[in-house]
């Protein structure tokens, strides 16, 4: 059976892409095929006549099978601003994302869909990431950026996922600072406050070593 997860974060720049790629490597280590999808991305550059995003290119490079960039990232916007602003002239259409996701399902056992920004960040003028996850019918994996304020952000986001009627299959602690005071204590506090299981801690790295990051993760029990 083809399955997938929606990867969201407590904010933008909390390590969602690294977490998604690390999970892709974990599934591959377990013998499964996996592809990544980033339905909408802002801050793209023009390469060979096509707008591309560095995060989406990373997902493409780490997939089990070759997939066209346009299928991984159907909405690629030049401006590095919120998608509902960057995509004013070509807004995300939910049915097109659903169709693209279905095509990816036919190519691999797992599809990991990375959202843009935080859980309630807009993807077009009328919908946000929570609506996108709902439309795709996916359980959610929450990436928590471990920094000052992370306990509040994790609790609020977990509550918002539940309020949307979606299942949070687990969360990942993404360590954003080399020497954050009381880092372990913050992670423990989130564990105590959030019902979803901790799937792993992504240690601080200047450059990602996805093989080592994947080794410290576990996949949700719904696998």
DSSP 197: P
* Token couple for 54: 């560095």
The pLDDT assigned to 1 comes to: 52
Q: pLDDT at position 184, please?
A: 97
The answer to the question of residue 84 being in a domain is no
Q: Which pLDDT belongs to residue 223?
A: 53
What lies within 8 Å, CB to CB, of 117 at 6+ separation is: 9, 11, 12, 82, 129
Candidates 113, 116, 182, 115; CA nearest to 150 is: 182
Question: Helices 94-105 and 129-136, interaxial angle, to 10°?
Answer: 50
Please report whether residue 74 resides in a domain. no
CA-to-CA distance for 167 and 18, rounded, in angstroms? 22
Is residue 47 assigned to a domain? no
pLDDT score at 185: 98
Mean pLDDT rounded to a whole number for the chain:
96
**Is 155 annotated as catalytic?**
no
The per-residue pLDDT for range 87-105, each reduced to its tens digit, is 999 999 999 999 999 999 9
For residue 133, the enclosing domain spans 3-38+94-215
* Contact partners, residue 2, CB within 8 Å, separation at least 6: 105, 106, 108, 109, 110, 111
Q: Give pTM, 2 decimals.
A: 0.96
Mean pLDDT (whole number) for 2-6: 90
**pLDDT, tens digit, for every residue of 138-151?**
999 999 999 999 99
- Residue 145 domain-assigned (yes or no): yes
Structural domain contains residue 126: yes
Catalytic one among 16, 38, 93, 164? 38
CA distances 103 to 14, 132, 203, Å, are 28, 17, 34
CATH of the domain at 157: 3.40.50.300
């Amino acid at each position: 059976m083809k399955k997938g997860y929606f990867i969201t974060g407590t904010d933008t720049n909390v390590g969602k892409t690294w977490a998604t790629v690390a999970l892709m490597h974990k599934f591959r280590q377990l013998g499964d095929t996996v592809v990544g999808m980033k339905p909408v991305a802002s801050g793209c550059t023009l390469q060979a006549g096509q707008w591309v995003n560095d995060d989406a290119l990373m997902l493409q490079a780490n997939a089990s099978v070759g997939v066209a960039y346009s299928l991984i990232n159907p909405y690629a916007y030049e401006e590095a601003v919120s998608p509902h602003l960057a995509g004013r002239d070509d807004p995300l259409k939910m049915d097109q994302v659903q169709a693209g996701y279905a095509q990816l399902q036919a190519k691999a056992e797992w599809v990991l869909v990375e959202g843009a920004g935080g859980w309630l960040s807009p993807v077009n003028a009328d919908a946000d990431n929570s609506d996108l996850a709902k439309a795709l019918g996916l359980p959610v994996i929450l990436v928590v950026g471990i920094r000052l304020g992370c306990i509040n952000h994790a609790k609020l986001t977990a509550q918002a996922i539940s309020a949307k009627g979606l299942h949070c299959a687990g969360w990942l602690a993404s360590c954003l600072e080399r020497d954050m005071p009381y880092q372990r204590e913050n992670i423990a506090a989130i564990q105590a406050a959030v019902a979803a299981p901790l799937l792993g801690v992504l240690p601080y790295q200047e450059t990602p070593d996805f093989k080592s990051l994947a080794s410290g993760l576990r996949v949700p029990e719904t696998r």
